[in-house]
A and B are shown apart, each in its own frame.
Chain A
Amino acid sequence: MMTVRLRRISGREDKRIGTRKRKGRYLENVRKHWMLYVMVLPGILYYIVFKYVPLTGSVIALQDFKILKGIGGSPWVGLDNFRYIFSYHDFYLVLRNTAVIAFYKLIFGFPAPIVLALLFNEIRLMAAKRLAQSLFYLPHFLSWVVVGGIVFELLSNQGIVNVIRGWFGYEPVLFMQTERYFRTIVVLSGIWKGVGWGTIIYLAAIAGVNPNLYEAAVVDGANRFKQTIHITLPTMLPTIVVLFLLDIGNFLELGFDQIFNLLTPMTYSVGDIIETYVYRAGVLQGQYSVTTAIGLFQSVIGFALLWAFNRLARKTEQGLW
């Protein structure tokens, strides 16, 4: 699956061919199939301009970047920006918020679609299963602006949650403006939006199980629960590992859209994450170099985590590479 693809596309050309011979081969190839090269050109340009130029533009983390002087004219300051952020109190606050929310999302959000997929699998009525799936997939297609708006409305003073609390005689709570609820809301709304869609890939893995295995297990006297533990889950494991690694690689990238649309100044102390902070300090206030340094730091942590967990995964299962 994913593993194979990543490995294959990153594979190298055959190195045994001599360079001169190779050059000739390339020229002839380009002459013969020039149309293919023409077709791929706009795509390559797109990736260079919108992916690689910004990536190399990250060098402004080592500069005191001024927008009017550009990268060429701005003075180099070495690691000063990194020294600055590590001595800066706000940085630790957003880093902690990011890490804590990321951790909660991982331990609660990651297993949710696995559990749901297993529960889907136990539904015997096909019509009911299909209907439930349709409903669960729906929130995936709503934007975070919409979902954020709905969450705010449902949890507002006159919102439905406080209405229900009122039935039982509880005082209304301003959930969105109270620090201690913020992270729970982030995790729950994330699960609400993504859990159904997340099951698709696991359901595909479950569908790939050889039915003979279940028959054999039934003969051996295994009940549904034991079949799930000993047959279904092990079959899903490679998929789980790959998705876990991909999640880990994006560990600190919580998604700007979600947090931005749930955050209020009242909840900055627990909910302001790297991306929302970078947006405010960088885009709005123009501290380009410092916020780029923070962004780079985030990328490096992400890659380090991916690398470490990939090594770990390779010891037991297959990794990404």
Chain B
Amino acid sequence: MKPSYGEKAFQAFNYAFMLAASATMLFPLLQMLAVSFSSPEAADSKKVFLLPVEFTMGTWDHVIRSQALWGSFGVTIFITVVGTFLSVLFSLLMAYPLSRKELLIRKPIMFGIVVTMIFNAPMIPYFLTVRELGLMNTIWVLIIPSLIGTFNMIVIRTFLMGIPPELDDSARIDGCNDFGILFRIYLPLSKPVIATVSLFYAVGYWNTFTQAVLFVHDQTKWPLQMRLRAYLQSPEELASVNLFLGDYDFNTTTLKAATILFATIPIVLVYPFLQKYFVKGSLLGSLKG
């Protein structure tokens, strides 16, 4: 059947729309990039579009010398690496028994977990609980209270339930216990799902913000997002010099643009390589019973 006139028009519209809409996804980041490499005068006089005007490295030169920013970068790297490892480990440890029929209490446990998805504790009792535990102002408060993500745990459990049980019968005969079965047989088989879940956790930890707002007042333990927020609120602090006294090759506008990118570039750099795992994973949780 030949496409009708209307269908051709629709196709043209669709491609045009997709082109424009996709551009808006990338455009803001490119604009920030252009501003961060522009001179302060150009940035403030509405000249910068998608390419730097009066190109200068001054802003970036200043930003990458910021001790506080690198300190927060370190905190974020730490919670991303250690947090992701611990989260995956404990999610796996919980998901495996819950995928086994031998664990008789698995249904009440799953019920209890699903309840927490529907009834979220209000912010204040949560805040008070974490405070009671003495986690305030420690780096661990950014990891422990978000150790197990229910969605991620269920994703792993769903995957484990799909592994044929005959596999561990033979392992058991060979004298393997449950820990052995989990780490020697199931873990190697679940590499794809572990990769996906690790990525979800890692992005979550990289973007940790609310936890820091609530629990970390000690600036030396601020994660990157928290530091970024502080600098966006008062960029003069990042400037660390009085911008009105003297002639600098950066100002608050270019500094803000560069700091935003500083916190974003790592994600944008790894994203193209890892994208397929994300997409696969987002479907795993909902597909099977």
Interface bits B141-177 vs A (CB < 8 Å: 1, else 0): 0000101100001100000000000000000000001
Least Cβ–Cβ distance between A2 and chain B, in angstroms:
5
Considering only residues 128-178 of chain A, those with a C-beta below 8 Å from chain B are 128, 131-132, 134-139, 141-146, 148-150, 152-154, 156, 158, 160, 162-163, 166
Q: Is the interface of A mostly helix, strand, loop or mixed?
A: helix
- A50:B7 contact, CB within 8 angstroms: no
B256 nearest in chain A by CB position: A153
- A261:B267 contact, CB within 8 angstroms: no
Report 5 cross-chain contacts, Cβ distance below 8 Å, ordered by A residue. Answer: A9-B113, A46-B94, A143-B206, A291-B123, A295-B122
Considering only residues 281-302 of chain A, those with a C-beta below 8 Å from chain B are 282-283, 288, 291-292, 294-296, 298-299
Q: Does A211 contact B (CB under 8 A)?
A: no
Q: Is the interface of B mostly helix, strand, loop or mixed?
A: helix
Which of these binds chain B: A10-18, A84-92, A98-106, A229-237?
Answer: A10-18
- A128:B104 contact, CB within 8 angstroms: no
- B267:A122 contact, CB within 8 angstroms: no
Q: Does A257 contact B (CB under 8 A)?
A: yes
B110 nearest in chain A by CB position: A9
Which residues of chain B have a CB within 8 Å of any CB of chain A? 1, 4, 6-7, 10-11, 14-15, 17-18, 21-22, 24-26, 28-29, 31-32, 35, 43-46, 49, 90-91, 93-94, 96-98, 100, 102-104, 107-114, 116, 118-130, 133, 145, 147-148, 153-154, 177-179, 182, 203, 206-207, 209-210, 213-214, 225-226, 228-229, 232, 253, 256-257, 259-260, 263-264, 267-268, 271-272, 275, 278-279, 282-283, 286-289
Considering only residues 202-249 of chain A, those with a C-beta below 8 Å from chain B are 204, 218, 223-225, 249
- B32:A153 contact, CB within 8 angstroms: yes
Please, which residues of chain B bring their CB within 8 A of the CB of A308? none
Which of these binds chain B: A33-41, A179-187, A311-319?
Answer: A33-41
- A291:B102 contact, CB within 8 angstroms: no
| Known contacts A37-B103, A54-B126: A143-B147 contact under CB 8 Å | no
Partner among B11, B15, B207, B283 whose Cβ is within 8 Å of the Cβ of A143: B207
- A136:B11 contact, CB within 8 angstroms: no
Please, which residues of chain B bring their CB within 8 A of the CB of A134? 272, 275
Please, which residues of chain B bring their CB within 8 A of the CB of A50? 126, 129-130, 145, 147
Q: Does A107 contact B (CB under 8 A)?
A: no
A165 nearest in chain B by CB position: B46
- A132:B18 contact, CB within 8 angstroms: yes
- A52:B125 contact, CB within 8 angstroms: no
